[in-house]
Structures are given as structure tokens and as C-alpha cells.
Chain A
Amino acid sequence: MIRVENLVKKYGRLVVSNGLNCRFEEGKITVILGGSGSGKSTLLRQLTGLERSDSGCVYFDGVDLTCASKKKLYEKRKKMGMLFQGSALFNYLNIFENIAFPLREHTRIAENVIKTIVTMKLEMVGLRGTENLMPSQLSGGMTKRVGLARAIVMDPKVIFYDEPTSGLDPISTGVIDKLIKDLNTKLNITSVVVSHDIESCFRIADKIIILFSGDIIAQGTVEEIKNSKDLRVKQFINGEPEGPIPFTRTDKNYLDELLTG
């Protein structure tokens, strides 16, 4: 479904994607794991053509998004849904209008049908009854679920989730995990999930890609990742503070920096 070849992205001197190669199979859930700042969101933005890459290709359905015309890109976008890390709800529209928005823009569906669809999607994320609230009146976890409802309202073929469960309570996390799984199995929707929640990742993933400061350090099935011999992978999935992955970002020695002030 999506094939990434030698993808490179830099912000100034910071290399955020360092020649990535990977595939996202049709009808599968692929989870991108990685620490904060490892370039997960940036990869996701490149997969959807939101961000230009410096070099390399992203083939979506056979079309290279990195050099596609705007028309082609928008055509492909109609098959994508995305849940943003910060939900990205329209702050001037209420919950109902937020979810109805893509329907109103791209279809000529009658008002009562729109109402039915929106109600169904809200029920799926467990937020029926919030239709008339504004996004600012919801909690962080609730806005995330509304964002998800909006992402699936056009019945996309591929859904990109940027940290769908971070900041959610355990029950909501379970609900969202189940939802991602259900959408995948029942409707055969390809899913790309960015996460640093190891447990929920193991629950839902068909394939896992682990990013570390712009590089893919491992990819494979859940079993393969669990049995990986790579020390960095082990450290990451066990959440150990000490190991080959440093916690700080600079190379400067801590003691030196303190002493030289």
C-alpha cells in the first residue's frame, strides 16, 4: 500500500529521517515506535505528503507523493484519514460540525443522513451526546476521540494515527485499541499508528517499526521485536533508563558542562 524508499528529511543540520526504507502492507496495522523527538510525526507527515522530503520517494497506491501534482495528491488524500497528535479540531465549529465537515465539503449527502453518520461515528468513540459542545469544552482524551471520529467519517482506506492513546485513561486506551483493530479487521482498513505505548502496540500491531533519532533500528512482527537481540530495541521495549540509547540530547559530558558553567 505504502512503500518508502531512501527517505531523507533534515531541519537545518538536524537529520530527522536518515534514508528510511520500509513498507506498510495493505490491510495491516503497522506501528511506528520511538522515543520523543525520534522523527515519528515527521515521518507520518511525509507519508501523507504534508511535508516535502529532501530526497527519496513515498509510493502510495503506486503514486510517488513526493513529486505528485496537487490534483493527484488531493485525489489520494480522499482515501486517507488522519488523527493528529493534537487532534486539530476546528476551534470555531462544534463537535457535530467538526465531524460533519468532510461530508459537507466533499459530498452532497442530505442533512438527515449526515446526522445519522455523525451519530454513528460518535457512538463508535463513545461520545454520543457531545454534539453541541465546542472543542474547548472537552478534555484532551475526548478531543482525541472526536478527532478519530472525524478521521473515519469519510470511510478512508488508510488511517494514520499520531499517538492515538497518549493522554488517555486505561479504559479509553482499550476502547481506541479495539476500535483500531476493528476498523482494520472488519473494513480491511490499512492502519499506520505512531505510538510510544509499548503495551498497546503489542496488542494491535501486525508489524512494528522502531525509530531512533532518524534511523529505523528494527522492523518486524511483534514476536520478532520481542525476541530481538538488539540492545537498543531491548532497552526501548523494557523502558530501561540505562542503556545504549542516551536520555540527553547532547554529546557534551554532563560533569564537564557543570564544571565549566
Chain B
Amino acid sequence: MKFDILAYIGRFTLKRVQVLGQSGVFLLVAFYQAFLPPFRIRRLLKEIEFIGSKSFLIVFVTGLFTGLVLGLQGYHTLTQFGAEALLGSAVALSIIRELGPVLCALMVTGRAGSAIASQIGIMKITDQFPALEMMAIDPVKYVISPKILAGIISLPLLTAVFDVVGIMGGYLVGVKLLGVNEGAYFGKMVTSVTFTDIYGGILKSLSFGLLIAWISSFMGFTADPTTEGVSAATTNAVVITSLSILIVDYILTSLLL
């Protein structure tokens, strides 16, 4: 009985390590292919549209409400210490360092990550990858590489949008609604936000963009070629990507501080 459990743990671990290795190779190949000619600029732009532009609205709304809530919460906490002048830097720092990259990435995971996984899974169960192969087109280069590049390019841009909209949301509540001094809101922000914060935010969003495109594509690509397989892959893509984002966020934060 004891040994059954040991064997089970062993098998389980081996399987996980194997999947991890496969996904690493998958990413390397996709990257390598991305930088081999012919370059598929049109495919890349299409994917940026799919991952980036189509997530714009959802990121905008999330950013706005995050900023509004931060303004409200921050104001009520800070007034207790008579420090409402610091509202601007509180909102800006929490958004630029943490909430911007993380919330933005989680929203994009829900919208685009699931779509990537199911789209690739459907291509797989309907033989579209062998069909590409038969036309002498490398499926990884054609389908996967542009998605990974698009993820890396789109996320920092979306995060920038989130940051700006969030800060404006805080401004609306803090300055326009609750009467914090406008000069203080932006003045304190300028002095307290350093370039390290901004670089850190960009680094995070780059990593999250990579994670979203990589994990979602891999899940779709290795889905069981059945309808259940594709729906499981879609769910797993969202769950695993979201968890990875939170874990990587912790690691990056601890390195950056």
C-alpha cells in the first residue's frame, strides 16, 4: 500500500517534469521559427489585433474601475492620517507596480488565452495542422510563433493603457469628486514614481504576455484530439496561466524590490 503511493507520486512527478520539458522545447522551437525567414508580418499583425486590439475595451474598463476604487479606498484611508495629498502617489504606485500588469494580464488570459487554446485545439482535431504540413508550411511557425510574439508585444501596450486609465480613474474620484488638490495629486506622483517602478511594470507585463501566449498555445497544441480534450485544454489554459501569472509576479517583485 505504502509503495503504491510512492509509485504514484513517482509517476505523477515524472509526468509533470516531462510536460514541463515538452513545453520548454515547444517555446524554444516557436521562438527559433519566429526569427527564421520568411517573416510573417501580416500574420503577426493579425495576432496582435486578436490578442491586443480586441482586449482593449475590457482592459480599459477594468483599468477605469480599478482606479476609481483605489481613489475611493485610498482617500478614506489616507484622510485618517491627514495624508490625502499622497493619494496620487498611492494610486500610481499600486497601479504601475502591481495592479496594472497583473489585472491586465488576468483579463487578457480570460479573453484571449482561452480563445487561443480552443482555436488551436479545434485546428488540431480537424486535421488543420497536417493540412498545413501537406502544403509545405510549418504549422508551429505559421500558427504558434506569431501568437507568442503578439503576446509579448501586446501586453506591455495594454498595461500602459490600463495604467493611464487607472490613474485617471483615481484622479476623477480623488480630485473631482472628493476634492483632493489637483497639484498635489500629480505632483506627489511625479516625485514618488521612479523609473525602476516603470521598468519593473514593463518587465512584468512582458513576462505575462509570454506566459499567456505560451501556456495557452501549448495547452491547445497538446490537447487530446477530442471535443472533451479541447474543452479541458481551454479550462486548463485559463487556470494554469492565471496561477503562473500570480506566482511569477511574486518572484519578479521579490527580485525587483
Residues of B within 8 A of A105 (CB): 135, 137
Residues of A within 8 A of B128 (CB): 88-91
Residues of A within 8 A of B253 (CB): none
Q: Nearest Cβ in chain A — how far from B212, in angstroms?
A: 20
Residues of A within 8 A of B131 (CB): 82, 84, 88-90
In the complex, identify which listed stretch (A12-20, A73-81, A241-249) lies at the interface while the others stay far away: A73-81
- A106 within 8 Å of B by Cβ? yes
Residues of B within 8 A of A81 (CB): 134
In the complex, identify which listed stretch (B119-127, B172-180, B183-191) lies at the interface while the others stay far away: B119-127
Residues of B within 8 A of A75 (CB): 136
Against A, the Cβ 8 Å flags (1 = close, 0 = not) of B95-133 are: 000000000000000000000000100110011101101
Say yes or no: A77 contacts B126, CB within 8 Å. no
| Alpha-carbon distance A18/B131, docked complex (angstroms) | 26
Say yes or no: A74 contacts B130, CB within 8 Å. no
Chain B interface, >50% SS class: helix
Residues of A within 8 A of B138 (CB): 70
| Alpha-carbon distance A48/B122, docked complex (angstroms) | 23
Count how many chain A residues have C-beta atoms less than 8 Å from C-beta atoms of the other chain: 24
Count how many chain B residues have C-beta atoms less than 8 Å from C-beta atoms of the other chain: 14
Residues of A within 8 A of B133 (CB): 50, 77
* Smallest CB gap from A76: residue in B: B136
| Alpha-carbon distance A80/B137, docked complex (angstroms) | 13
Residues of A within 8 A of B134 (CB): 48, 50, 77, 80-82
Say yes or no: A102 contacts B123, CB within 8 Å. no
| Alpha-carbon distance A154/B136, docked complex (angstroms) | 12
* Smallest CB gap from A80: residue in B: B134
Say yes or no: B136 contacts A77, CB within 8 Å. yes
* Smallest CB gap from A98: residue in B: B131
* Smallest CB gap from A154: residue in B: B135
Q: Nearest Cβ in chain B — how far from A53, in angstroms?
A: 16
Residues of B within 8 A of A88 (CB): 126-128, 130-131
Q: Nearest Cβ in chain A — how far from B54, in angstroms?
A: 14
| Alpha-carbon distance A154/B134, docked complex (angstroms) | 12
Say yes or no: B122 contacts A84, CB within 8 Å. no
Residues of A within 8 A of B126 (CB): 86, 88-89, 91
Residues of A within 8 A of B135 (CB): 77, 101-102, 105-106, 154
Against A, the Cβ 8 Å flags (1 = close, 0 = not) of B206-218 are: 0000000000000
- A234 within 8 Å of B by Cβ? no
Q: Nearest Cβ in chain A — how far from B38, in angstroms?
A: 9
- A45 within 8 Å of B by Cβ? yes
Counting chain A CB atoms within 10 Å of each CB, the highest count among B122, B128, B131, B137 belongs to B131
Q: Give 18 pairs: A residue, B residue, CB < 8 Å, sorted on A.
A: A48-B134, A50-B133, A80-B134, A82-B131, A84-B127, A84-B130, A84-B131, A86-B126, A86-B127, A88-B126, A88-B131, A89-B126, A91-B122, A91-B128, A101-B135, A102-B135, A106-B135, A106-B136
